[in-house]
Amino acid sequence: MAIATVAATVVLAARSVAATTPSSYTSTGWITGVPVLPLTVTNALGQVLLRANVHTVMVQSDDSRLTGNRTVIVNGGYNTDGTAALYGSVYQEVGTWDLSDPKLPKFTPTGGLWELDYRGVMGTDNSLQLHFVGHGQGGAIDGLRLEENLTRAAGPILDPAIPYRYTGTIKLPPENTSLVVDNFDALNYSGSVWGKGTITLTDGRLVARGDFPNVTRSILDSYVFGGAQHPQSVPDGKTQEWRADLVSLDGNATNTAIIAVGTPNGLYAFHKGSAFEYLFKWTSASGFSMLACGTTAVRNTNVVLSLALTRVQPNLVITARVLDKAAANAVLYQASVVDTPEADPTLTVSQFEALTGMRLTDLGPDQKADPLTSFFPLLGVFQNTDGSEPAPTAIFDNLELWTCETPPLVIEHAVRLMWPAAATANYILESAATVLGPWLPVQEWSMPGMQQMTAPASEAAKFFRVRGW
C-alpha cells in the first residue's frame, strides 16, 4: 500500500501565540498578617483536621513578576506520625513594596494576579515542603503559567521571623495556532489519486467520487482519497488536529466520508457514515486494525470532520470528532483511543459487522510497534457495496491544521469508582493512605444518576470513602 503525494498551497496563517524562553526565579516571603486563624476539629476517629487558615505574605523576588502580596488559604489534616498533609489556594497580586518603614511595609499593586493551587507536607517540627502550580491573570503575566516549590525551616507555625523560600519557573502560555492548509480554490486538482475513483476541484471545493463496480470485502476494494502534502510531526506534549468541512455526502447507508493522516508507511483514518463512525489504523507491516466504532446518527451536511493526534511519550492519543459547523463547532460525536507500543485492543471482524452491518475480512489485531509519528492529511470517500450501488460522492472544503499544547499527561494504572447518586444528599469523594486518614478530597464529576471518577492506583494500598455534605 502506498500513499500518493500531492501539491498544496498554504493559504493563511492565523492566531499564533508568540514564544519566549521559560524563566526560573527565586523568592523569599515573610508572613505579614493572619486575618483568619486555623479552625481545628477532631472527628470520631481521632483525626485532627485543619481548615480555613488565611495568612498574608510579603514576597520579594529576583523576578519582578513574582514580587507581590500573597494571600494563602490553608486546609489539611494531621497524619498518625505527627506530620500534616496540607493543601489549598493562593492569590498573589503583582506589585512593589515600600520598606522605608520596616514595621509597616506598603504595597502598591502594578497589575496582574497569580492564581495557584498547592499540596504538600508539614513535618513534625513544622517545617514545610509544598508544591504550587497555577497561572497568571491580567497585566504582564496574563496567560503565563507557574510551577513553584516552597520550603520553610523548622519552628513555630506562622512565625513571621521564619521566611518562606520559593524556587520556581514561569512558563509560556499554551501554544494555540491554526493554519488553513488548503481552501481548494485552485482551478485544477494537481495531485495524485489513491484508490478507485476521482479527486477533483469544483467551485472551490474538493470532490471525491468513487468508482466501485466490485463487491467490497476489504477497505482496499472501494475507497478513493487524495490530500495535501503538508507533512507534520507531533512533538511530545503537543496536539495536532486536522479539520475539514464536510459539505455533503451521498445518503446511501454504506457510504462514509474519510479524513485520514499518515505517510506511505501507515495511517490513522476516521470514517463518518450516516448511522455509524469508525477509526482504524493501517501500517504496511501489520495491515488494518479497527480501533473504535460508534453508532451515532449524524447528518452528512454542514459538519466538520476532525482527527486529532496528541503525543504523550511513548504513546499517541487519537481523537476523532464530528463538529456542528452551524452551532459554533459543538461536538456531535467523539471517540478517543490510545495507540501504545504494545498490542492494543481492537474490534474483530464479527464485532465490527454487528455494529455496522459491514463485513471487512482484512481486519486484524494490533501488533506491537511504536505509534506513527509523521503525517500528512487525506480526504476521500468509501463505500461498502455489492457492486450495484450508485457511485458515492463526498464534498469537502477548508482543510485546517490546529496545534495546541497539552499538559504532561501520564497514563498509569487506575481504578474507576462509581456509586448511586442520591436525591436528598450530596457527596464528596475522599482518599487516604490508611484507614485512619487523614482523609482529603478527590476531585470528581457527575453523570446522570451516577457519580464516577478515575483515581491513580500507584500506591501499594489506598482507601476511599464518600461522605455526605
d(CA 382, CA 269): 11
Residue 108, φ and ψ in degrees, nearest 5: -125, 110
Does the pLDDT value for residue 301 go beyond 90? yes
Q: Which of 210, 237, 240, 235 is nearest to 222 (CA)?
A: 210
CATH number of 23-171: 2.40.350.10
Cα dihedral 8, 10, 16, 20, rounded to 10, equals 80
d(CA 202, CA 184): 8
Q: Tell me, rounded to whole angstroms, the distance of Cα 13 from its chain centroid.
A: 23
Place of cell 465490527: 352
Q: Which of 408, 403, 427, 405 is nearest to 417 (CA)?
A: 427
Q: What is the pLDDT of residue 426?
A: 60
Q: What is the pLDDT of residue 454?
A: 53
Residue spans per domain, the chain: 23-171, 176-405, 414-468
d(CA 280, CA 289): 6
List residues bridging with 77 in a β-sheet: 49, 85
* Run of H or E including 135: strand 128-137
d(CA 335, CA 278): 9
User: How are beta strands 48-61 and 68-78 bridged, if at all?
Assistant: antiparallel
Q: Do 174 and 239 meet the contact criterion of CB atoms below 8 Å apart?
A: no
Contacts of 168 (CB under 8 A, 6+ apart): 24, 25, 27, 66, 132, 146, 147, 148, 149
Does the pLDDT value for residue 6 go beyond 50? no
Cell readout for 278 is 469508525
d(CA 279, CA 260): 9
For 371-424, the pLDDT digits (tens) are 998 888 999 999 999 989 999 999 999 999 988 876 544 444 456 666 666 555
Q: Judging by beta carbons within 10 Å of its beta carbon (0-12, 13-18, 19+), is residue 268 exposed, middle or buried?
A: buried
* Run of H or E including 433: none
Does the pLDDT value for residue 469 go beyond 70? no
Cell readout for 348 is 474483530
- Tell me the whole-structure pTM to 2 decimals: 0.62
d(CA 167, CA 444): 31
Q: Do 115 and 141 meet the contact criterion of CB atoms below 8 Å apart?
A: no
Q: List Cβ<8 Å contacts ≥24 apart for 446-450.
A: 446/421, 449/420, 449/421, 450/418, 450/419, 450/420, 450/421
Residue 202 has a CB neighbour count (10 Å cut-off) of 10
Does the pLDDT value for residue 367 go beyond 60? yes
List residues bridging with 388 in a β-sheet: none
Q: Judging by beta carbons within 10 Å of its beta carbon (0-12, 13-18, 19+), is residue 203 exposed, middle or buried?
A: exposed
Give the start-end residues of each E strand in 18-99: 23-36, 39-42, 48-61, 68-78, 84-98
Q: Do 393 and 209 meet the contact criterion of CB atoms below 8 Å apart?
A: yes
Q: What is the pLDDT of residue 223?
A: 95
Q: What is the pLDDT of residue 349?
A: 95
d(CA 441, CA 12): 47
* Run of H or E including 349: helix 349-356
CA dihedral over 137, 141, 142, 145, signed as positive or negative: negative
For 138-150, the pLDDT digits (tens) are 999 998 999 999 9
At residue 281's C-alpha, the angle toward residues 278 and 283, to 5°, is 155
* Run of H or E including 350: helix 349-356
Give the start-end residues of each E strand in 159-204: 164-171, 176-182, 194-195, 197-202
SS3 assignment, position 408: coil
Q: Do 453 and 442 meet the contact criterion of CB atoms below 8 Å apart?
A: yes
Cell readout for 352 is 465490527
Does the pLDDT value for residue 3 go beyond 50? no
For 123-176, the pLDDT digits (tens) are 999 999 999 988 999 999 998 999 999 999 999 999 999 999 999 999 887 767
For 233-269, the pLDDT digits (tens) are 888 878 899 999 999 999 888 999 999 998 878 999 9
pLDDT averaged over every residue in the chain: 84
Q: What is the DSSP string of 200-219?
A: EEETTEEEEEE---S--SSG
Q: Which amino acid, residue 157?
A: I
Half-sphere exposure of 3 (CA within 13 A, CB side): 26
Q: Which CATH superfamily is domain 176-405 in?
A: Exo-inulinase; domain 1 (2.60.120.560)
CA dihedral over 62, 65, 71, 75, signed as positive or negative: negative
Residue count of the chain:
469
